[in-house]
Structure 1
Amino acid sequence: MSTFTLPGSSPECPVHLTNDLTKEQLLSFPAFKTWSQTLQHSLKQQESKNHTFHEAPYKLRSINIQSVDFFGGERIGFIKFKAEVSNDDGEKFPGSVFLRGGSVAMLLTLQPDDVEEGSEKDKYVILTVQPRIPAGSLCFPELPAGMLDDAGTFSGGAAKEIEEETGLKIGEDELIDLTKLTFGSEDQTSDGEKLQKAMYPSAGGCDEFVPIFLHQQRIPRKQLKDWQGKLTGLRDHGEKITLKVVRLEELFREGGRDSKALAAWSMYEGLRREGKL
């Protein structure tokens, strides 16, 4: 096991690696870069006299890498580590971190084209139904989502699955960024921190952040009815990911176990009330 000092850290922060991970691999992992830069910026805010922890500021003391999962050879997928963040009085914050990086989710609404434009009547949402072993489920309903790749683009299979099963091709220019509309265009939060314009599903133990996009499409009513029957039945054919059409007003219940779905639903309703959608 080797150790190096985290570049730019003050005080110097030792990083203890596992035998299967190099300094170069860790520092080039986008999720680690984002996490370390975000935390260092947040810690620096303690210099303000108005900060809650100004009198006894916390510092990043050490990082102990515990395990690494690789995807397809040498590409890092997930990292589990322990970060010690404490002040000079010996008070510590919980620092166990499951590092995986960002994901992206899509709220895809469908509405029959015989409904008056601008109306909320008869709107439906597409959910994916797939195995989620960490949740102990083989048929977990959630918003279409996927991990961000190294370039920060959507690389998951949800959009492809939607295109294969419905023929709907969704381009980036057809997406509305709900999280950006919700949080605004400022780079900093009201506390001066630089968090992602995204929702954090499990901030107590994971760095994952999820920007949520909206795509709205009007389609023939007959096509929607055909999809409702077809899409919910594909699991019988042995597919690992199938699609399910649910009414928008039922999303909070049909997708209620999925934090992405609940966040998308609340942002959609809030932004609509504000006249931003």
Structure 2
Amino acid sequence: MQMPRMLRQLMHRRIVMVSALVLLVIAVLAIGAPLFASIDPNDTAVLQRLKGPSAEHLLGTDELGRDMYSRIVHGARYSLAIAALTALGSVIAGTVLGLMAGFFRRLDTPLMRVVDAMMSFPDILLAIALVAILGPSLMNTVLALVLVYTPRVARVVRASTLVVRELLFVEAVRALGVRTSRILWRHILPNLMSPILVQVSFIFAYAILAEAGLSFLGVGVPPEIPTWGTMVAGSQQYAHQAFWVVLFPGLAIIFTALSLQLLGDGVRDLLDPKLKKTL
């Protein structure tokens, strides 16, 4: 399916279009954070602590008098960066593992047993254990989440590779003596892009929620880095007297994750022949 046609069909679904617009606005705010929120997100003003939304502070201030709007806009950079790096790392590692397991029969059983063992643990518990071993930092959080979500991608890619490997055109190029690396790169991988793209959108959303959960539990990103998760975690004890310190970062997490999920559902429905007729 050509890309312009795919985009037109996606935009025919109102919920997908709204989700894409929400994500576009969030991405623009994150990229242009210094322009849209000129106040330093770490500037403290104790006399202004826990002030409600006003013309001076659009979303109020937190327990240290820091501007919530500025912190949320700047925090979008960190939250989206963590999610993007997690999605990218998981897809690369999971695609390699899935291709190896699906194409080489002797590697299938040992690789999939490792993947099954990792998936037997709940995502958040495995992430907590990995961060506890690696130590709390931004990059260690990303690495832990990559390790958590790589098995998901590996299983999807492996299942698709098992199907594509048996197709006639793959058998033909193998009979012609084409190198295995070229078969994987030029003939099998392009036919796996549909499920991979869907996994990217889902993992992006999962990573945002997982980072917020880890930060809320105090084992993720250090509190001095203003991610949405650390904002909720650091301000939860003040929620009863200043609801906005938890509400607005929480809404940012919810809207971003929900928009990614809905967009991923739309892409999946479009690329699945059984569901494409519903668009």
Normalising to structure 1: TM-score of the pair? 0.22
Normalising to structure 2: TM-score of the pair? 0.22
Structure number with higher relative contact order (C-alpha < 8 Å, ≥ 6 residues apart)? 2
> Per residue, is there more strand in 1 or in 2?
1
> Per residue, is there more helix in 1 or in 2?
2
